[in-house]
Amino acid sequence: MEYYNNRLCISGAELIRTETNIEGIIPQSTYKNLRNRGNANIIRRSCYGKSALIELDSLPSKYKRIIYEKYGDVKEVAATKPFIERLVPDAKALTYFTDHPFNTNKRYVDKIQLYCNSASILNEIKNTVQERIKQRNQLGEPKAKLWEMLVKAVKTLSKEMPHTLPGSEKRLKLTYLEYIKSGYASLIDPKFGNDNARKVSVKLERLILSLYSQPEKPYTTTVHEQFEAYMSGKIEVVDCESGELFNREDFMKDGSPISISESTVWAYLNNPLNRALVDKVRMGTFEYNNTHRPHNHRNSPNFSFSKISMDDRDLPRKELSGKRVKAYYAFDVASECIIGAAYSMSKDDDLFIACLRDMFRLIDRNGFGMPMQVEVENHLVSNYFDILSEMFPFMRICNKGNSREKRAEHEIKQKKYGTEKKLQSGIGRFYLKLEANRVTSDKINNEFKEKFYAYSTLVADDQKSNFEHNNKLHSKQKKYPGMTRWQVLMYNLNPDLPQVNKALIYKCIGEKTETSIRNNQYCRVQYNMYILPDSKIVDRLQTNNYDVDAYYLPIDDGSIPEVYLYQNGSFLCKCQMLERYQEAMSERTAHDEEVRIDQAKFTNKFDKLIKENKVDKIEIIQNEHIQMAEIAASAAEVVASTPLSMHEETIEDMEAYAASYGGEYAINSL
């Protein structure tokens, strides 16, 4: 039943009985006769997805009586039908009630579906109140009867869609208004938030957790015994932070001490949240992180050198001294390749720097670009954070004790129980769960018998396993079918890799030698001479200072093909090794001739530089009239300082000299 154009109608699906619709009221042939005679007024014809609507008042009385007997008050049905059809399940309500803290209460869980149904109905009531008022004329209902229709709809839905909404108009309005104000929370029965029904209160639960978290790691039975002793007054419990005693009155019920069983203590200690709380205190950081703490789920990079991860380890087998060799690795995360490795008997800064140097030798040898990001641990390389941030575009520092975070940890484990286990014996630990990974050891005279190896053997074996590891098939064969780790590294380089700035890299991690510029041409480093790229470099040196710092990185064979010069932290130039040529022309090769020509060019450039900036030649000329004036002034001073008799004797000589000199000066002035 529904209203259409203010007329009460019944759908053809409800009225007409066919072979497929046996619930209909009148046969299809009878309906056709009524329609042809005008006793069935079709208000809306049937179309795709919609049934025909027949005006109820146009049907004969006997058929209307059957309809009333079947549906009851058809006007009520017609008024509530659009409301019911518009109901939509509220998915957000299901999420809210399911994730509510009360979901551990079985009685609450049984109510979740009822609360969700109530929320869906109230949502439609809200829509009806806001929108259906404009359509009340079409429904044939006055404004005052809108809530009557809503109450009837709520009652009608109580069987098909069970809910917790009241059946009276006044209470339904109050429930609706509270729902608009407080949302889903208004539908939850207040009794679920009442703590009075719990035998073990929140304070008592916290006391149980505190007793269990003592440094000696007590058993559950011990916690129960201590609680009983506390309630009987035999012991007191002190809050270490505040220094206050726990109040025994907080653990009373109706004036009597609460008594709990050992199973109750066990149940509350093993609640998932409580278990995480106590294990945070009882466990170490590593065990707690791997047991309880959530972790990130990540995708590996798609390109090589997008990210490298570095970490140290102790080689599984011991050296002759009884200690383990320390190794430091650099892994490319995408390809899983080992791109740098260093070894030492001590875990220190030098080991880390040696690994970086080995990695950059590989990068330089193969012409790779600069890795985009480096991932390191917090403790060993803390002194190099500034250097790493200067070298790499991105840097990530992993948290302490979180091995799951660092990609290098995963790669080391894969290498150890993959390549190393196949190539070496004695790989594993005595305590591992899998028998195949446990190493055997015999105890003789209260000492475990172990096999020791030379340092060179351990390093050589590990370097061999590194090579085998890089040339094994990549672990993600679905993504890289048939490709080894090294092939993935070579053929999937990040296209955005920056060029390696050797001047910066060598200054950060290279070796350093103090030297000086000689003959404006070269400097000496490790008994070799390195030529300046241009003689103009000397113009950049500080005044009267030829001393410079040379940074370099030996290649695999130990030679140093190039050095980078700095003076007081400022970069000067890159210098290649100075080559010599054969002076005997009969023995001179083509390469010797090239070297000779290059040296000649350097000398010619220097000569040209000197010529272009040569010092001007000058000559000094005395200014005679200024000189004579100075002589005369000096003579006057002498006369003034001599006795009068001497002055009279020499005055004639001076007059004669003045006459002679004056004439000569006049002639020269012409």
pLDDT for res 449: 67
pLDDT at 111 over 80: yes
pLDDT for res 535: 84
Q: Is 622 within a domain?
A: no
Shared domain check, 53 and 12: yes
Q: Is 368 within a domain?
A: yes
φ, ψ of residue 201 in degrees (nearest 5): -75, 175
pLDDT for res 487: 96
**Which of 184 and 379 is assigned the larger pLDDT?**
184
Shared domain check, 324 and 396: yes
Q: Is 496 within a domain?
A: no
| Range(s) of the domain holding residue 9 | 2-72
pLDDT at 338 over 70: yes
- Place 482 in a pLDDT band, splitting at 50, 70 and 90: very high
pLDDT for res 156: 78
By three-state DSSP, how is residue 167 classified? coil
Shared domain check, 51 and 19: yes
pLDDT for res 329: 95
By C-alpha distance, which of 83, 93, 101 is closest to 183? 93
- Return the structure tokens found at 294: 């959530």
Q: Is 653 within a domain?
A: yes
- Place 362 in a pLDDT band, splitting at 50, 70 and 90: very high
pLDDT digit string, tens, across residues 398-447:
877 677 788 888 899 889 888 888 887 666 655 455 555 566 665 556 66
pLDDT at 648 over 80: no
Shared domain check, 176 and 203: no
pLDDT at 173 over 70: yes
- Place 656 in a pLDDT band, splitting at 50, 70 and 90: low
pLDDT at 371 over 90: yes
pLDDT digit string, tens, across residues 37-53:
887 888 888 877 778 88
Euclidean distance between CA atoms 264 and 252, whole angstroms:
17
Average pLDDT over residues 272-296: 85
**Which of 665 and 236 is assigned the larger pLDDT?**
236
Average pLDDT over residues 70-84: 71
Q: Which residues are CB-contacts of 234 (< 8 A; sequence separation ≥ 6)?
A: none
CA distances 42 to 9, 31, 36, Å, are 9, 11, 11
pLDDT at 471 over 80: yes
**Which of 140 and 404 is assigned the larger pLDDT?**
404
Rounded to 10°, the helix 272-282/262-269 angle is: 80
- Return the structure tokens found at 608: 């040209």
pLDDT digit string, tens, across residues 199-217:
457 788 888 999 999 999 9
Q: Is 301 within a domain?
A: no
**Which of 280 and 440 is assigned the larger pLDDT?**
280
To the question of pTM greater than 0.85 for the whole model, the response is: no
- Place 284 in a pLDDT band, splitting at 50, 70 and 90: confident
Ranges assigned E (strand) in 400-471: 442-444, 447-449, 452-453
Shared domain check, 214 and 256: yes
By three-state DSSP, how is residue 312 classified? strand
Average pLDDT over residues 115-141: 75
φ, ψ of residue 265 in degrees (nearest 5): -60, -45
pLDDT for res 554: 92
Q: Which of 257, 291, 325 is the last residue of a domain?
A: 291
Q: Is 43 within a domain?
A: yes
Euclidean distance between CA atoms 340 and 333, whole angstroms:
13
pLDDT at 542 over 70: yes
Q: Which of 145, 177, 193 is the last residue of a domain?
A: 193
- Place 303 in a pLDDT band, splitting at 50, 70 and 90: very high
Average pLDDT over residues 86-96: 87
CA distances 127 to 6, 76, 91, 187, Å, are 21, 19, 17, 18
pLDDT digit string, tens, across residues 552-603:
999 888 899 999 999 998 999 999 999 999 999 999 999 999 999 999 999 9
Average pLDDT over residues 184-197: 73
Q: Are 553 and 562 in contact (CB under 8 A)?
A: no
Average pLDDT in the chain: 83
Shared domain check, 187 and 248: no
pLDDT for res 35: 85
**Which of 577 and 655 is assigned the larger pLDDT?**
577
Q: Are 53 and 14 in contact (CB under 8 A)?
A: no
pLDDT at 333 over 90: yes
Q: What percent of the chain has pLDDT over 90?
A: 37
By three-state DSSP, how is residue 559 classified? coil
Q: At which residue do the structure tokens 């091995």 appear? A: 403
pLDDT at 478 over 80: yes
Least confident of 6-15, 229-238, 510-519: 6-15
Shared domain check, 449 and 420: yes
| Total residue length of the chain | 670
Euclidean distance between CA atoms 570 and 174, whole angstroms:
79
- Place 129 in a pLDDT band, splitting at 50, 70 and 90: confident
Cα dihedral sign for 339, 341, 347, 351? Answer: negative
Radius of gyration of the chain (CA): 50
CA distances 433 to 312, 415, 422, 428, 437, Å, are 24, 19, 19, 11, 8
Q: Which residues are CB-contacts of 130 (< 8 A; sequence separation ≥ 6)?
A: none
Euclidean distance between CA atoms 64 and 70, whole angstroms:
10
Query: First-to-last CA distance in the chain?
Result: 139
pLDDT at 194 over 80: no
pLDDT for res 528: 93
Shared domain check, 204 and 62: no
By three-state DSSP, how is residue 132 classified? helix
pLDDT at 335 over 90: yes
pLDDT at 87 over 70: yes
Q: What is the DSSP letter of 569?
A: T
Q: Is 508 within a domain?
A: yes
pLDDT for res 401: 66
φ, ψ of residue 398 in degrees (nearest 5): -80, 155
Q: Which residues are CB-contacts of 17 (< 8 A; sequence separation ≥ 6)?
A: 23, 24, 25, 26, 27, 28
- Return the structure tokens found at 190: 């207040």
Shared domain check, 121 and 67: no
pLDDT for res 536: 87
Q: What is the DSSP letter of 199?
A: S
Shared domain check, 442 and 364: yes
Q: Is 327 within a domain?
A: yes
Domains in the chain: how many in total? Answer: 6
Q: Which residues are CB-contacts of 93 (< 8 A; sequence separation ≥ 6)?
A: 115, 116, 119, 120, 184
Shared domain check, 203 and 173: no
Q: Which of 173, 193, 213 is the last residue of a domain?
A: 193
pLDDT for res 429: 58
Shared domain check, 201 and 184: no
Q: At which residue do the structure tokens 């017609």 appear? A: 78
pLDDT for res 133: 59
Rounded to 10°, the helix 91-98/106-131 angle is: 150
pLDDT digit string, tens, across residues 635-645:
666 656 655 55
pLDDT for res 452: 86
pLDDT for res 358: 94
Euclidean distance between CA atoms 86 and 92, whole angstroms:
17
Q: Are 145 and 195 in contact (CB under 8 A)?
A: no
pLDDT at 667 over 60: no
